[in-house]
Chain A
Amino acid sequence: MGRRRRQVREEASAWAAAGTRTLPDAIAALSRSLPAGPSPEIFRRAKFDRPEAAPELWRLLFRVLSPLLADRAAASPGLGAQACWVKAVLCYHGYPRSALAQLPEDGSQGSRELLLALSWLLARGPLLEWLLAQTCVQLGDQVPTFEYEVLAIPRLAAPQMDAEGPVDIRHLQWLMGKLHFRWQNLISIQQEQCALLSKIHTYTFGCHSDQNLGHLSVTETETLRDPEGSQQLLQVLEQENARLEAALEWRRYELVFWQWMDTVLGACPPEDPSVPSFQPRIPEHGRGKLELVARELQALKEELQVLQKLLHEEVLSRRQAWETRVGALGHGPEWSTSRQDLQQAVEQELLALQQSWKQDRYPSLPRRRHRLVKIEAGAAGAQGLPVAEVIRGLKSQEASLEVVLCQLQGQCRQELARLVGTMPGLIWILPPGR
């Protein structure tokens, strides 16, 4: 009995001691697992809102929020642009505190607010896992599948293109043509890549130690051919391992970090309710358009409500009619069993409909990365995702996108016809069709 009480007391004191000792470890683990993570000292200074910690945190947030852009080192914008962008993206993602919006745009202050923003991002979703997945080293050849999420990130503002006066439509046609040619070039390069990949896979068949894979990928073939280059690959793998280990360590000490963040939040001055919440600057002509859009939305909402009411009434009247018809029928035992069967059949049909509707609207494609493996036709025990399924998924995506394209083209044609109608005496001569 006594021994047990002593154990509990020991555990409690160990835990209390662990609290103060592992905070630096926790923060160190966090910064090691982040790409370009700042030193733990920066975190500590940020708690006290020291200005020297601000630039590093701005850069970290920029890197975290735009892993795709930040890869190209040459295109790295200045601190001011980074700060502006980070503020916009955080607002877009719904960051609740208005203090962020009021930080100066030169990136010189606000380290505590940035620390809060970082922990908000960490708490929202699997940020670390997402970042690690972005820079994951691939040893196999990848299947490029169409990823919707790439398009959701707001882009850095393009250089100001003032349309002084009307744009010459020939210039637009010129640009469309260029795009078309580049697209074709991309497709033929991809086809060539596939043909060459197929060659490598066929030549190296039987070389892989893993029986399930059977052949080497391009990266693996390169490491065999070029031992010095493989040293670099090893280094990259080791770096990734270090980050993964840091991420695991972070998971163990996470609780300590959140306890500390509570104190950081406590150290902030209370929010001033009179300050307006973050509002992005809207250019003049944009404001008019936004009003139009807002009005349209309002009109659509009202229409939707009216339609809903109508639908409701319709459903009600039909149900009453059905009840009066059905109510006359008997309630015998054989009626209840047939009713049960009917109910089951209807449920199944509904389920099937829902499934097919879901599949049509969002044809499911594999989100995880898959390694490209060439197997003999009809080989047994093939694991992973078969190519036929990917092709099916892509084809259904293509079909739905084509439908959308046709609809949009039809809308454009209607709009053009309407515009032509407003200008009497105008003759359309279409260019020689492509």
Chain B
Amino acid sequence: MSIVTVQLGQCGNQIGFEVFDALFMDSQCSQGFCSKRENEAYQASCRERFFREENGVPIARAVLVDMEPKVINQILSKAAQPGRWKYGQHACFCQKQGSGNNWAYGYSVHGPKHEESIMSLIQKEVEKCDSLSGFFIIMSIAGGTGSGLGAFLTQRLQDHYSNALKMNQIIWPYGTGEVIVQNYNSILTLSHLYRSSEALLVHENDTIHKICAKLMNIKQISFRDINQVLAHQLGSVFQPTYSAEGSFHYRRNPLGDLMENLVPHPEFKMLGVRNIPQMSENSLAYSTFTWVGLLKHLRQMLISNAKMEEGIDWQVRPSLPRLPPLNKLSLNREQHFNTSLANLVILRGKDVQNANLEGFKDPALYTSWLRPADALSVWKTSRAFNRYERSAALVSNSQFFVRPLDTIVGKAWNMFASKAYIHQYTKFGIEEEDFLDSFTLLEQVIASYCNL
């Protein structure tokens, strides 16, 4: 089943390009550490999901939307190289003027004005799928085009394609970002997306920046480096995996399975990704890992809310099982223990059937009202990803984002209390009421996650 990607704004388009590139390069890779037949099945599954064929050339199932033509033209030319993949010829929508980082402009003006053209582009791409699993919508939450237009489009997709799933890949802005109204934009985007999307997969710029600096040893970190790390993370989640324990057929609907296991509850939709190992290409050939080591680190990354495998706080430990729930809650809060609602662990590479996941089945990791058997899902494949002999990814619905969300809401509230810059929004139809609704919704989300 196929996934159609909608790339929004400068951020969304650049990331989208890197994602398709990473998926394509991985599927082409002959060093899969598995049999040729396995490799071919993997390739076929990946191609069917994210690409379609036209005259032997793979075409990405994507729609590109931006209010300025510059970025789209750049990536169109980067993609159309011989022997690689392309974007569809008429899959782009651009305008000549930007949105000036104004969420309200993107939501109330650009959205309705360009709705028909964009939706018809999406419709054409959907018709070329044999069966549609859902949509990826890649956008930032702090800018103007991506955030406002993205919120509007997600709502329209909800109305038009009520049976299709939507996962918004959202880029969390830098804490010390440049856009002054980024907190307003963020809270408005998040609250609107929470109402119309099924899952929000959050990628934090700060986190990925640190990964580039510490793990990949990149001196001058460009956006391209960040986007490539992000693409690697997404690829490690959505590349094909076996459909069941002991099966050798690839899973047909990873998006649906992921959503069913991680976000069935309407109040808990924020997902985070953690990868292990992550390193520069040069170091790849010299490193070897065991499943035991990888899973131990991944588990500790989960419970201590570490962003990467370096600098993990090993002092954070799950509380004793016999404690009554209320004591457990306060103890966990004291040591900043990250309680999970549900987790998805994805293992790729050699001897994947020997990997022992008992550590993740500990009930202390999870909230009291969900048993580990219901909360934990595991996907496997013996085909290695991106030439990492063994790699593991974790998609987690947990308290990862309680603090960042609380910070953003706090900052936005302070600005709102002094009515700073509100006129930019009310000018285009976003009233103070809408702000208050957003604050209420997000406070509710924070409270729900805190009470896990």
Contact = CB atoms under 8 A, between A and B. Distances in A.
Contacts of A175: 264
B270 to A, nearest CB: 13
Contacts of B264: 173-178, 180-181
Given A181-B259, A182-B260, A188 B266 contact: no
Contacts of A262: none
Contact of A173 (B133, B253, B266, B444): B266
Contact of A184 (B131, B163, B441): B163
A177 B263 contact: yes
A173 B265 contact: yes
| Binding site secondary structure of chain A | helix
Contacts of A170: 265, 267, 369
A187 interface: yes
A222 to B, nearest CB: 19
B195 interface: yes
Contacts of B191: 432
A188 B370 contact: no
Interface residues of A, number: 26
A9 B32 CA distance: 88
A142 interface: no
Contacts of B265: 170, 173-174, 177
B260 A192 contact: no
A185 interface: yes
A178 B341 CA distance: 14
A185 B198 CA distance: 14
Interface string A180-198: 1110110111011001100
Interface string B230-261: 00000000000000000000000100100110
Contacts of A195: 130-131
Nearest to B342: A174
A180 B165 CA distance: 11
Contact of B133 (A188, A196, A434): A188
B131 A181 contact: no
A168 B1 contact: no
A170 B267 CA distance: 9
Contacts of B163: 184, 187-188
B208 interface: no
Given A178-B264, A184-B163, A432 B130 contact: no
Interface string B111-149: 000000000000000000011110000000000000000
Contacts of A432: 191, 194-195, 266-267, 441, 444
A429 interface: yes
A171 interface: yes
A177 B268 CA distance: 11
A252 B309 CA distance: 79
A189 B131 CA distance: 8
Specify which of A175, A185, A433 lies most central, judged by the most chain B CB atoms within 10 Å of its CB: A185
Contacts of A187: 163
Specify which of A170, A182, A187 lies most central, judged by the most chain B CB atoms within 10 Å of its CB: A170
Contacts of A433: 195
Contacts of B165: 181, 184
A425 interface: no
Contact of A185 (B260, B267, B368, B370): B260
Nearest to A185: B256
A431 interface: yes
Nearest to B263: A177
A81 to B, nearest CB: 24
Given A181-B165, A181-B256, A185-B260, 6 more contacts: A173-B266, A173-B267, A174-B265, A178-B264, A181-B260, A188-B164
14 contacts: A168-B369, A171-B370, A175-B264, A176-B264, A177-B263, A177-B264, A188-B1, A188-B131, A188-B163, A191-B131, A432-B194, A432-B195, A432-B441, A432-B444
Interface of A: 168, 170-171, 173-178, 180-182, 184-185, 187-189, 191-192, 195-196, 429, 431-434
